[in-house]
Amino acid sequence: MQIKQLASFTGVSAKTIRYYEDISLLSKAKRGDNGYRYYDDQDVSLLKFIRRCKELRIPLADIKRLVVVQSSGNDPCKQVDTIIFQQLEKIRIAQYELHQLEQNLKTLANCCKHERIKDCAILKHLRSN
């Protein structure tokens, strides 16, 4: 199949697929005589795998490691484990930060009395101290 079909099967745009090849997340695709890239079912599986990792917001560098590691079948899966746990940790930290942020923004939003700019309580707050 051609690149656009791979794209529609996996939900990853053709542009992105080429980009993944560029950064060697995908290996070089076979080319036809016309220079077009051609793909098969294995490529579909791999890209779907990648897309799922992306949905978990795993960075491409880590996804690459997950892709590579799959060909070393007898090794322990510690690396996989670690990547997932680190990702979970990152998400939890981000959640905490967002929670703090939400509190601050709520306070700020609530102090708005629809004044004019020169009396705006939000701006005063932001300028204070």
> Which residues of this protein are in contact with its own copies, per CB under 8 A?
45, 48-49, 52-53, 55-57, 66, 69-70, 72-78, 80-81, 84-85, 87-88, 91-92, 94-95, 98-99, 101-102, 104-106, 108-109, 112, 114-120, 122-123, 126-127, 129
Distance linking the first and last C-alpha atoms of the chain: 63
Q: How far apart (Å, rounded) are the C-alpha atoms in residues 49 and 51?
A: 5
By C-beta, is 2 or 110 nearer to its own copies?
A: 110
- Record the tokens describing residue 43, joined without a space: 């490529």
| Residue 33 binds DNA, judged by CB under 7 A | yes
| Residue 53 binds DNA, judged by CB under 7 A | no
Q: Cβ of residue 20: shortest distance to DNA, in angstroms?
A: 7
11, 13, 39, 88 from 7: Cα distances, Å: 6, 5, 10, 29
Cβ(121)–Cβ(111) under 8 Å? yes
Q: What is the maximum alpha-carbon separation in the chain?
A: 70
Partner whose binding site includes residue 28, from DNA, its own copies, none (CB under 5 to 8 Å by kind) = none
- Record the tokens describing residue 42, joined without a space: 């294995």
Q: Site residues for DNA, window 59-88 (CB under 7 A)?
A: 59-61
Q: Cβ of residue 64: shortest distance to its own copies, in angstroms?
A: 14
| Residues in contact with DNA by the rule CB under 7 A | 2-5, 13-16, 18-19, 29, 32-37, 54, 59-61
